[in-house]
Amino acid sequence: MTSVLALAACEGQLGNVDGTLPDDDDDGGGSSGSWANPRPVPGGSKPLPAAASCAPAASGSADVAEPELLLQLSDDDESAWLGSPAVADLDGDGENEILVTHNGNIVAWGPDGAQKWRFDESREYGRIWASPLVADFRGDAQLEVVIAARTRIYMLDSSGRVVDGWPVAWNDEIRALAAGDVDGDGQLDVVAASTDRTPDVLMAFHASGAPVAGFPPISSGTIGCDARRSDDAECWIVGVYDQNLAIGDLDGDGAQDIVSPMDNSYAGFYHGTGEAFDANPMFEGRPKTPGVRYMHDLALAQQGFGDSRDLQAYFKNSAPAIADVDGDGTPEVIMLAAAEDVDMSDQSQGVGLWVVRNDASRIPGWESPFYAPDYLSGGEDLGGNIVAATQQVTVADLDATRAGPEMIFAGLDGRIHAVYADKSEYWDVEYTGDTQVLTGGVVVGDLSGDGIPEVVFNTYSTEENRSHLFVLNAGGKLLHKIPLPRLGAMPVPTLADVNGDGTIEIVVSLREIGWIDGQTPEPNTYVYTVPRSSTNCLLWPTARGNLYRNGWVRAD
């Protein structure tokens, strides 16, 4: 059995196969804007697309069955931070493993729920924030697992043992990991980014654990710009706080490049050599992309400053993506960012969705970001180890009748938004009106086999029994809403065929658990199965799009 996520879907392919749906009078159209609280503004769910995004399964239908709880997995009293689960056949025995990171460990379960191994040496260094990577890093047709616990990065083999040359140390705290062949040697590398920029925010390692040449870019002198902590620096390098990495080929040269938005209004684009991409000459005095300030007004971005109330991006929690939005054959960088004024006095001004070229210039129609100005919650941590919302954008072909992919994200307004490639809004729907309820982001896959995908996400809260697992159709209509226990789940869920029966499971990693009779920990991972589903169309099935966690949607 081929692992759905680790191999076939690892590069996040987009489907473009035409197909039609049976008639459905209950199409969810209209402009209510919410299944719970109608609002008198444009928005709301829309009719389903008239064409399929993927080839339908042989037994596909328009009916999406309600997810049913299949497994409840227990380990100890640890709970997850932002690590999305992984599903892969690690040892090649034909059965998948379910991998879940917790506060200081990672656990592998078999498809029957039996624990296969548990790695907790990482507990010595602290929490595991980012999602685990799963890939063949050593070129030996075997899968490895990579995790980061604050200052340490571990590479584990299929049985959970540490690979020679690991762990390696980097800055505290490592909150972003991604895999890619950044030096072009045919072997995957591990790229990490941290909250501390001393000596650098960015680092890359070979599968041997040795640093990749040119990294870290500042210390190695490869970045190509003055990155000192001073007002006259050419590049404004600061830390990253929540999975702020993407890896893909930005310029079509066959080599993979790195995107890393930062804890300010700047984002760095890097070649695999460590050198930053040149900025477009329109940006005055900023020769490299990490020096370009993302002002909402393009003219202000060109000059690099604005008045106190002018809006700019705030990329602290931005998890970017790479995809060809305009269909010109060259990928763009897609970033979701909180909006703030230049004085940084008001960080509750909604979010902006940015689409830019590798030189930080903006493609036609996207001269300013798509702006969702309303604010409910999520710009700051909620307290009690419940973190702020990840500014995570998902890229998938929801509507095959329209050119280009759609971009789906949770705003800071309690709504899920879907935006077309031309910057018009497909739909937006409200999932909460509660300031104590957030979501980490959405995944996309076909849960009924008709070739038209669904949108799946879970929520989390500071308060018990307010969180749910949601399933929306491609038009944004609510199909299912299932209560989650306690504080819900902060990580993005994962879609995969866990048990090899050809149907899709939804793996949810819970935030907080309790104890049964004071002795046995409650389950910290729920696995739901979706009856009559199929694996024909998993477009963005886990956090960051695939198990490389690279956010790259390839068009080939």
Classify 4 as helix, strand or coil: helix
pLDDT at res. 513: 72
Partnered with residue 396 across adjacent β-strands are: 406
Pairwise CA distance, residues 493 & 497, whole Å:
13
CB atoms within 10 A of CB 299: 10
The answer to whether position 38 is within a domain reads: no
Residues 507 and 504: their CA atoms lie apart, in Å, by 10
Dump pLDDT digits (tens) for 163-202. 999 999 999 999 999 999 999 999 999 999 999 988 899 9
Q: Rounded to an integer, what distance in angstroms lies between the CA atom of residue 17 and that of residue 267?
A: 35
State the total domains in the chain. Answer: 1
pLDDT of 404 above 90: yes
Answer yes or no: pTM beyond 0.85.
Answer: yes
Which is higher by pLDDT, 181 or 233? 181
Q: What are the backbone angles phi and psi of residue 290, rounded to the nearest 5°?
A: -65, -5
Say which residue the tokens 């609510």 belong to. 478
Cβ proximity of 240 and 188 under 8 Å = no
CA distance 499 to 14: 25
Q: Return d(Cα 509, Cα 84) in angstroms, integer.
A: 7
pLDDT bin (cut points 50, 70, 90) of residue 447 is: very high
Contacts of 114 (CB under 8 A, 6+ apart): none
Closest CA to 422 of 371, 373, 370, 372: 370
Average pLDDT (309-318) is: 97
In angstroms, the CA 271 to CA 295 distance is 24
Specify if 62 maps to a domain.
no
Residue 435 one-letter amino acid: T
In a domain, 56, yes or no: no
Q: Are strands 152-156 and 174-180 parallel, antiparallel or unpaired?
A: unpaired
Residue 381 lies in a domain: yes
CB 486 within 8 A of CB 512: yes
Q: Which domain holds residue 506?
A: 68-540
- The per-residue b/e assignment along 170-204, b for 16 or more CB within 10 angstroms, e otherwise, is bbebbbbbbbbbbbeeeebbbbbbbbbbeebbbbb
Instruction: Give me the pLDDT at residue 231, please.
Output: 67
Residue 433, C-beta contacts closer than 8 angstroms, at least 6 positions apart: 36, 37, 376, 414
Task: Judge contact between 419 and 411, C-beta under 8 A.
Answer: no
Do residues 64 and 445 make contact, with C-beta atoms less than 8 angstroms apart? no
Residue 535 has pLDDT above 50, yes or no: yes
What confidence category does residue 34 fall into, taking pLDDT thresholds of 50, 70 and 90?
very low
Q: For all residues of the chain together, what is the average pLDDT?
A: 91
168 belongs to a structural domain: yes
Residue 135 lies in a domain: yes
CA distances to 251, 482, 512, 521 from 468, in Å? 40, 5, 14, 21
Q: 417 in helix, strand or coil? A: strand
Kindly state the tokens that stand for 71: 């497994």
Q: What is the DSSP string of 124-154?
A: GT--B-SPPEEE--SSSS--EEEEEETTEEE
Average pLDDT over residues 487-509: 97
Q: What is the CATH number of the domain that holds 224?
A: 2.130.10.10
Band of pLDDT at residue 512, cut at 50, 70 and 90? confident
Token pair, residue 202, equals 């960015």
Closest Cα to residue 188, out of 140, 253, 121?
Answer: 140
- Residue 168 forms beta bridges with which residues? 153
Are 106 and 100 in contact by the 8 Å Cβ rule? The answer is yes
In a domain, 469, yes or no: yes
| pLDDT over 60 (residue 19) | no
Question: Residue 230 has what pLDDT?
Answer: 65
**In-domain check, residue 257:** yes
